[in-house]
Chains A and B, each alone.
Chain A
Amino acid sequence: MTDIKPIPGIWFILCSMGPRSLVGRKLEDTVMESLTRIAAPSASQDDGPASESRRGFLQLAAATGAVVSMGTRAFANGDIAFYAKDLSDEKLVDMYRTILKIRWHERTQADQMLTNPDYRGYNHFYAGQEAVATGVCATLRNDGPFEQIDLAYSSHRPSGHAIAKGVDIPKMCAENDFRATGLNNGYAAEMHLSDPSVGFVGADGMIGPSMPIATGSAFAFRARGSDQVAVVFGGDGTYATPQFHSSLNNARMLDLPFIYVLENNLYHQYAHYSYSCPHKDIARAAAAYGIPARVVDGQDVFQVYNAAKEAVDRARAGGGPSFIEAKTYRYYNHWGAPGATAGELGAFGYDPLAITSFRPEREVRAWMQRDPVDIARKTLIDWGTLDAAAADAIETEIKAEIAEAFAWAAQQPLCTPEDGLKHVFADGAVPARQFG
């Protein structure tokens, strides 16, 4: 990775890789073309990052009642605004630190899984997608009284969202390893991590329920006159669910302070998203519900920040919901560490569970050329916020902090079996029934 600029044409290639061609795609291309003529005359496949002018943005909004992505690449919307460039050095470095925390959490845990036979935790790894959680959560209120902080609903791939929202990392590590002193006392593990005190409502192992539930939190904010916002993170697999559509329709009808962050990492479990969605840009579907929608380069934390800031400002001002599709990629397989090697980033080769479609190694490597850690680092050096030595020092420090978190977690006590009967209701315990 020598240049923060995207590889020309990468989006065109990757998005054309779907294993089947759909009749609907032809129609979509026609529609896209006409929309592109209206709003993004400068976007093409060959001239690198293209910008939509503010004027084009307004024209499109007038034409459709919504903002949709143009062009074939995630970065076609490159310069949404300049919010990130106005941030303090401290805030920018903090975002870089968050990306590194997520990255080294993922790498350290993968290495634990691969090398430590006593380690029992698992993860749906988030490595490769760090910029999305970081950029979005950097625009949210993550501490303070519960009645004022913004709420984030996560998915079955929660560790990045949890860290970005400010969850205590050592406690999260302990929870992922089923420890009694973990974040959720050993009841949750990875797929149900939750810490309301930082507005991390939590992970959900199911695909679908979190979106309409998040609109419910947004409804409450609106009903009580609060300027809080509710954010839900979901993958490309959520498009096919009924809840995708009902949450967007209701959020729009009621003008809820609701932000849907769709992390399109191209695969739902082991199937390419073209198996379940006729759109190349899923944001098109949100636009159809009358919701302002953005497609952003999910590998560039500052682009994500800009889009999220726009959405949060709109929601706080009573302007209703927004939809952000972040084009991104996970470096590991759907679940666990098959195909990974200790000490090396990413998983390669055939995943034994991936029967329907699996990820070509060249695809993984192409995405790793546009690494969110590298992009953030190079941007901050380019902006003069950091120099290389300072960036290195931060990474060394974060790496040590994460190693310490795992070491602390490994020392924590295991759960007491009988405690499994507690927390069913607010008080007391249910009877044991397994002994007859």
Chain B
Amino acid sequence: MAQKSWMYSVLEAVQWEMQNDPRMIWIFELTPPVASNPGMPVINLETEFGRKRVVNTGIDEYWMASCCLGASLAGSPAATYIPYQGALMPFEVIQNVAGKLRYMTGGRASMPVVWIIEMTGQTPGFAGQHSCYEEDSYYAHIPGVRTVIPSTPYDAKGMMHAALRSSDPVVYLYPAGLRTLVEEVPDEPYEVPLDKAALRMEGSDLTIVGSGAGMPEVLKAAEALTAEGMGVEVVDLRVLKEMDTQTLVDSVGKTKRLLTVDQSYYTLGPGAEVIARVATEVEGAKYKRVAFPDAPPPASPEMFTWMRPDAEKIAGAARALV
């Protein structure tokens, strides 16, 4: 047990799985699988496992994703880290092959593959292609692929173990904006299930549902609202597919107020799905959605920070709802 960063926690899980399964492979481009943590040994998958198992490739995310799929079909658990610049380049092979293969083969295909898809840090100034946050909606739409989006180092490690041990293909979204988060994370391997949302705060007046990089601002808003006397319940989705409907329905059944928060675009964002699922189960609830507008992120920090959901905007929407 020690205070660990997001990436250190993830690589700790990968390292354990690779040590315990000599068949497993890892592919990366540009972002080396290296992490350090105060008081802990440096993890470097490339030097520990060698370049037959851990490869730095050229800029070709379609190949990276396909190679890992092929390795998994050959019986080797496989993972790749796709940096945000290439986050949707492998979409076709994940959507049209991996997502359908188990089904199309009548259940015969087994795919222990994890695609770590980095999402941007939403850094103001980096403009359209380097500040966007939209992969959650695209990947969550695919049947047959488990799409998860851990928002804490603890969940990141546990979900990585679970993803690598699963015979289903997993899109493991990594919002780079969370890279500075640090928390107590056990040294031993453990699993966090790939189908359960997490209740982060309990309250009876309002449910706020968020995910991924939106969570720190959601929690900040919830704390401010709690200080004002509002009873806020916070649900961290953690899993976009299969979405944990029961946790959502139970919460809104109690609060009768639901505010969803997405960093991604408004149309067909995770919040749209959350509201649709709750509305068909819960009578008499009220709803609001906070999301990035249906516009690419602009370069100008003045425009961008105004458009991006933050704690102040989330709290404002909550006050209007309750």
Contact = CB atoms under 8 A, between A and B. Distances in A.
Interface of A: 20, 120, 122, 178, 180, 186-189, 191-192, 204-208, 237-242, 268-271, 275-277, 355-356, 414-421, 424, 430-436
Contact of B298 (A204, A205, A415, A435): A415
Contacts of B86: 206-207
A271 B321 contact: no
10 contacts: A188-B299, A191-B126, A192-B127, A205-B85, A206-B85, A237-B59, A270-B30, A430-B295, A433-B294, A434-B290
Q: Which of A192, A417, A420 has the most CB of B within 10 A?
A: A420
B309 A420 contact: no
Contact of B59 (A204, A208, A355, A433): A208
Nearest to B301: A178
A420 B59 contact: no
B75 to A, nearest CB: 26
Q: Which of A239, A419, A435 has the most CB of B within 10 A?
A: A435
A434 B128 contact: no
Given A187-B127, A436-B320, 7 more contacts: A189-B125, A242-B62, A268-B59, A275-B57, A430-B294, A431-B293, A433-B289
B283 interface: no
B298 A275 contact: no
A241 B30 CA distance: 14
Top 7 closest pairs, chain A to chain B, by CB: A240-B58, A436-B317, A276-B58, A417-B306, A420-B303, A189-B299, A186-B300
B256 interface: no
B300 A414 contact: yes
A420 B298 contact: yes
A240 B59 contact: yes
Given A242-B62, A417-B306, A436 B300 contact: no
A189 B129 CA distance: 11
Contact of B302 (A240, A414, A421, A433): A414
A116 to B, nearest CB: 16
B46 to A, nearest CB: 9
B254 to A, nearest CB: 21
A38 B300 CA distance: 56
A186 B298 contact: yes
A354 to B, nearest CB: 10
Given A191-B126, A205-B127, A208-B59, A432 B300 contact: no
A207 B298 CA distance: 20
A424 B34 contact: no
A436 B302 contact: no
B56 interface: yes
B294 A435 contact: no
Contacts of A189: 125-127, 299-300
A187 B298 contact: yes
A238 B126 CA distance: 21
B230 interface: no
B60 A240 contact: yes
Interface string B21-44: 000000000101010000000000
A208 B290 contact: no
Contact of A417 (B127, B295, B302): B302
B196 to A, nearest CB: 27
